[in-house]
Structure 1
Amino acid sequence: MAQDMYDEYLQSYLNYVVVERGLSLNTRTSYQQDLNRFFKFLRHQSPVPKIETIDRLLIMTYLNELSNEGKARNSIIRMVSSMRKLFQYALRQKWLMADPMAQVHPPKKAAYLPAVLTLEEVERLLAVPDVTTNLGIRNRTILEVMYATGLRVSELVNLKLDNLHLDLGLIQTVGKGDKERIIPIGDLAAYWLKKYLKEVRPMLGQVQDESIIFLNGHGHGLTRQGVWKLIKAWVSAAGITKDVSPHTLRHSFATHILENGADLRIVQELLGHSDISTTQIYTHVSDKHLREVYEKSHPRA
């Protein structure tokens, strides 16, 4: 059956992206989610099409369905990218003779200005954890480190003890594409990190992984989803009404240092962006801040 074949196609492709292309688990998961959704659509067709009979019309029908469901433009762009890579692989495997994605063009990327916390909101967020408790000290440390370094949440949860060079005021991390970078860490974040490592980490249950820095109460490493839920709870407790995610702290880090005079190339290095065009989104956020200050401050604005 075609349905069973789709499972085989997906597994073959996912093995390829991990083993031969060396892509991260997060990227593999993203492809898997996108393609599972596409295959679910195909399985609801009557009859269920074989992969070699999928054409541009069927693909456009699927993309229009996503649009009608209210899917964000950038989500559809990602879906098109995932499908394009799958069909390129299918061609090499000779599962089909022509690429149905050849004449499929993604929508233009939506202009996107990320949510950014004000300095006052950052202070309110940092004040939420109860630092008279072990987990409160851990939570304050997580917030301090994320805001001080701009780490992605995946980089934070994978941070290891040998990544720390606190005597030098530096930490190292491995980001997207296995790109390693060295990041300065400020005195306040270093203070909380040292306090957590000395006073709290040894108390968080029986440590299951001696190398991972941030642990839950059972001694296991925190997950990306776990940190996401924690930050949502802290944001609510701080009375912040913006749509805040772990990435918001990264956005705030970049925006605040740009507003205080950092060079865009330096911010690119700190964030680990391979292309400076990715970093330039923060100049738009910073420009917005400048306009707001001007309009409030200039007597004839």
Structure 2
Amino acid sequence: MDELTLFDHLTSEQYLTQMRNKLEQRHLLDEHRNLTLSHSSEQDFLELFFVEKIFTLDKQFSLHTIRAYRSDAKTLLQFLMEHSLSFRDIGFPEVKAYNKYIKDKYAPKSAIRKLEFFRRLLDFGYETQFYQAHLSTWISKPASKKGHFITEESRPEMKQTRVQVRELNQKDAEYLISCFPKIVKANTNREQLEKRNLLIGYLLYTTGLRASELVSLNWGSFRYNRQGYLYADVIGKGKKPRSIPIKEETIELLFEYRRSLGESIEINPEDTSPLFFALYNKKEPCQHKKRLTYPSLYKIVKEAVHLAGKNSKVSPHWFRHTFVTMLLENDVPLAVVKDWAGHSDISTTNIYLERVNQDNTHMHLHKMNVFK
């Protein structure tokens, strides 16, 4: 993208002047000074779509989200290339054809996401006069089962589907975590790596942190509350802050990990150095520590899964689902779980509760005495 996307560092006056000049030079303003792309290039259309509707300045995106958007854009571009179409060529027949292509090729959740990306692009095109018709009205998304599930496995011979929940039972989760330190092969910094991996497993399992939140932790993210309990302050989706209590077992591992690195265990809210970082940089000043990345975290989990001989589909996010379910199984109030997990809406948390209640229906069945 060109300089049109790089105005976020300017003052408001500079921003207005330069944005206005750029848009006027490229004839992207109509007589009402509204954005118009009726005669723009496709490059301008795509660039402004991503700037105004996707990667807006007031949002932060995880690597997973960025990859998803790139994947959705790539899918649409490939479809257009295969049919020798440009974005200007999209009309009712092309919308219906792409809709069918996505629903036939992808599982419901992926199809819904890709069609939502397509809808947003068409709506932006209509709002800016790139398209003269409201084409997104012809999109129809597939139905999808709500919740934390793996793609359904079809059983056509029975005309049913089997749905696998993306979580672990307590026994499997704890065994899997015990494998986290065992995957370390290096001799250099072996002790530190083992303690790091075990702490990662415990944090995933006992806090419900998203992977992006875990790798974003700093030493200064931890604090004691007025009662003397340790909490971690994180910024979740939509820049929503929340505080998460840390279990005693996890605190012990946290301090052991810090000691093994020669780092202070004194809680310092001003310390912005990353909690997890590349250990070959551990002797460098804090500002030069290279933060652990999501791909590195993902690799740790996958290697532990392989060593434990568990479901190969298990990813870091499974621990979050497991954590939320365990809270509800132990009668933690729904509203508390919602805030703890950082769900934007309680209906998301309620999906877990509905399944927990469904799993416990046998308890009600045992209350029946039908053979007197």
TM-score under structure 2 length normalisation: 0.70
The answer (yes or no) to whether the contact 2:45–2:130 under 8 Å persists in 1 is: no
CA offsets, 1:11-39, max 9 Å, x none? 33222246645222334443232122112
Distance 1:20 1:230, change over 3 A: closer
Are 1:134 and 2:171 an aligned pair? no
Which residue in the other structure is 1:156 paired with?
Answer: 214
The more displaced of 221-230 and 172-181 is 221-230
Which residue in the other structure is 1:54 paired with?
Answer: 90
Q: Distance in 1 between matches of 2:142 and 2:243?
A: 36
Which residue in the other structure is 2:232 paired with?
Answer: 171
The answer (yes or no) to whether the contact 1:268–1:279 under 8 Å persists in 2 is: yes
Shift of 1:81: 1.3
Amino acid at match of 1:90: G
Amino acid at match of 1:60: K
The answer (yes or no) to whether the contact 1:115–1:242 under 8 Å persists in 2 is: no
Which residue in the other structure is 1:39 paired with?
Answer: 77
Distance 1:20 1:161, change over 3 A: same
Which residue in the other structure is 2:255 paired with?
Answer: 194
Identity of aligned residues (%): 27
The answer (yes or no) to whether the contact 2:177–2:201 under 8 Å persists in 1 is: yes
CA offsets, 1:263-298, max 9 Å, x none? 111111011111111111211331244246778999
Are 1:265 and 2:317 an aligned pair? no
Amino acid at match of 2:45: Y
2:114 to 79, 88, 92: 79
Which residue in the other structure is 1:213 paired with?
Answer: 275
Distance 1:246 1:294, change over 3 A: farther
Shift of 1:93: 2.8
1:185 to 236, 241, 246: 246
What is the correspondence of 1:83-102 to structure 2 with a 5 Å cutoff? 83-102=118-137
Distance 1:126 1:41, change over 3 A: same
Instruction: Give 3-state SS (helix, strand or coil) of 2:261's partner.
Output: helix
Q: Distance in 1 between matches of 2:229 and 2:92?
A: 56
Instruction: Give 3-state SS (helix, strand or coil) of 2:242's partner.
Output: strand
Shift of 1:75: 0.7
The answer (yes or no) to whether the contact 2:96–2:138 under 8 Å persists in 1 is: no
Shift of 1:136: 1.0
Distance 1:9 1:198, change over 3 A: farther
TM-score under structure 1 length normalisation: 0.85
Shift of 1:65: 1.8
What count of residue pairs does the alignment treat as equivalent?
289
Are 1:251 and 2:308 an aligned pair? no
Are 1:11 and 2:47 an aligned pair? yes
The more displaced of 109-118 and 30-39 is 109-118
Shift of 1:201: 7.3
Instruction: Give 3-state SS (helix, strand or coil) of 1:282's partner.
Output: helix
Q: Distance in 2 between matches of 1:299 and 1:235?
A: 43
What is the correspondence of 1:222-301 to structure 2 with a 5 Å cutoff? 222-241=292-311, 243-291=313-361
Which ranges in structure 2 are unaligned for 5 or more consecutive residues?
Answer: 1-40, 150-164, 183-189, 264-270, 282-289
CA offsets, 1:226-283, max 9 Å, x none? 2122111111212223631111100110111111111111111011111111111211
Which residue in the other structure is 1:122 paired with?
Answer: 173
Instruction: Give 3-state SS (helix, strand or coil) of 2:119's partner.
Output: helix
The more displaced of 287-296 and 19-28 is 287-296
Q: Distance in 1 between matches of 2:146 and 2:334?
A: 20
Distance 1:178 1:57, change over 3 A: same
The more displaced of 92-101 and 228-237 is 92-101
1:64 to 75, 94, 100: 100
Amino acid at match of 1:100: L
Report 1 or 2 for greater relative contact order, CA contacts < 8 Å, sequence distance ≥ 6: 1
Q: Distance in 2 between matches of 1:135 and 1:188?
A: 18
Amino acid at match of 1:268: K
Which residue in the other structure is 1:205 paired with?
Answer: none
Amino acid at match of 2:112: I
Which residue in the other structure is 1:109 paired with?
Answer: 144
Shift of 1:117: 1.1
The more displaced of 73-82 and 217-226 is 217-226
Are 1:143 and 2:207 an aligned pair? no
Q: Bigger radius of gyration, 1 or 2?
A: 2
Q: Distance in 2 between matches of 1:183 and 1:30?
A: 28
Which ranges in structure 1 are unaligned for 5 or more consecutive residues?
Answer: 203-208
Instruction: Give 3-state SS (helix, strand or coil) of 1:159's partner.
Output: coil
